Structure 1
């Protein structure tokens, strides 16, 4: 006997993935989410500041028979966010999902951080989600009578370990998620947040990472394994699916149990 949610409700829907590119053929959180949603039949708008990176994600999706388009977007600019949402609706007549995946890191303390750098991190890590959601939500209501938004935070927001500006921004993402969930539940829009642990993604390994550092990161988890962008991608797909129809305003920690362990300061959780 089938339950009401055996259909994940992803086929034929339309998603925007911000920060959906990655260097080369690397699998970042956004690229993984885009590929996995496309495999489920969702049509995907992949956006990135560097359109070439988004185009590579689209190539991967099309190679598997999926449907996707690439768009350049500086999500710190409201005009770009508006244009990105319009592009999704223009392509396929609707918008159902938004994955707010844009983010940058920082390492300074309150004393060390320059005010302009603090403002930049807050702008990229928080304001981009505000701006994209501001334009995506009315489109979801108008074209799909609802939808789902996933915001990417970090375990740094739950267990601070320095990285003060980054930690502050990621904690703000959780607050933004919960407030949006309350505001737009009446519109049929679910809003949830994922807190990744130390994932092995291009954002991290592009700076260079030794085998020893990777081993240390794996040991930080109770599972003794290292996470990847695919782990976050699967979590995004679940939260956007009908299987998560009764979940909103929640924080899903995807860290292999790192936050159950002692302090770990090796790298950003995003």
Structure 2
């Protein structure tokens, strides 16, 4: 019960249909499991309701709210409803993001409208949620803000809007962290790598006309750690730690949750190289066993 007695507002707490769970829903469920009251905000009210139903079924406390994060008045209404209902906001979790679904493209193909929309969703929304939650947290003398960026901010990602907006989220978080440390408010940013979520996988199935198995295999092979994508629970567990008192002296941190992608320089090892290294490791283990 690491968040017992806390209240959290999660923007992007629903998810699109798919075979797996999304980051926002997994985080909302994890926060609730650990004792927090969770205010689940999503542009799709039905998706937010589904998350709330899952939380309540597990014995947790949650409310659903519809809001469009590109609309300032919509964000204000969500923050007001959460604060009036629970009297505090201890955790702000910003999970909303878009790339392909918002028309993102390479720098030679991007339209002004798509670029502006990606930035409105990915960056401006976080500026606005912080704008309205920070006065509450400052008055409380405490609070944890967790922004979801992406490993795409620092790696070879093909679409210009997502990459640049997610890089800006890192700077935004650092700004919020240092400007609010005196008030006891912490801000940190998570960089998910390749995660098997509906947003990541299902959108690529539609865009490229591939099968689910093809998309998963294509993404799995890019991950250094076990050659397998992470899950939304990996992101949720990182967010839980940053939200909890276990991270009470942690602010301004950029935390990659990416299976080693951020430290991979150059080409990944080939299958023969991996086989050779595994054979050498097995031989070394056998020698140690004999000794």
Q: What TM-score do the two structures reach when normalised by structure 2?
A: 0.84
Superposed displacement of residue 24, structure 1:
4.3
How many Å apart are 1:253 and its aligned residue? 0.3
Question: What CA RMSD, in Å, does the superposition of the two structures yield over aligned residues?
Answer: 1.6
Task: Pick which of 216-225 and 40-49 moved more.
Answer: 216-225
SS in structure 2 of the partner of residue 221 of structure 1: coil
1:248 aligns with 2:251: yes
Structure exhibiting the larger radius of gyration computed from Cα positions: 2
Cα distance in structure 1, aligned partners of 2:98 and 2:217: 24
**The residue matched to 1:246 in structure 2 has which SS?**
coil
Gaps of 5+ in 2: 206-210, 269-291
1:42-121 to 2 correspondences below 5 Å: 42-106=36-100, 107-121=104-118
**More helix, by proportion:** 2
Moved more, 76-85 or 58-67: 76-85
Shift of 1:161: 2.7
- Give the conservation status (yes or no) of the 8 Å contact 1:151–1:192: yes
Q: Secondary structure at the match of 1:200?
A: coil
Partner in structure 2 of residue 229 of structure 1: 232
Structure 1 unaligned regions, length at least 5: 1-6, 265-270
Superposed CA deviations along residues 47-72 of structure 1, whole A, max 9, x for unmatched, are 00011100000000001000000000
SS in 1 for 2:40: strand
Residues 256/47 of structure 1: CA separation in 2 closer, same or farther (3 Å cut): same
What's the counterpart of residue 179 of structure 2?
A: 183
Query: Once structures 1 and 2 are overlaid, which stretch shifts more, 155-164 or 47-56?
Result: 155-164
Which deviates more from structure 2 when the two are superposed, residues 91-100 or residues 212-221? 212-221
What is aligned with 1:30? 24
Of structures 1 and 2, the one with the larger relative CO (CA 8 A, separation 6+) is 1
Contact map agreement 1:85 1:139 (CA 8 A) in 2: no
Name the TM-score, length of structure 1 as normaliser. Answer: 0.90
In 1, are the aligned partners of 2:201 and 2:215 still within 8 Å (CA)? no
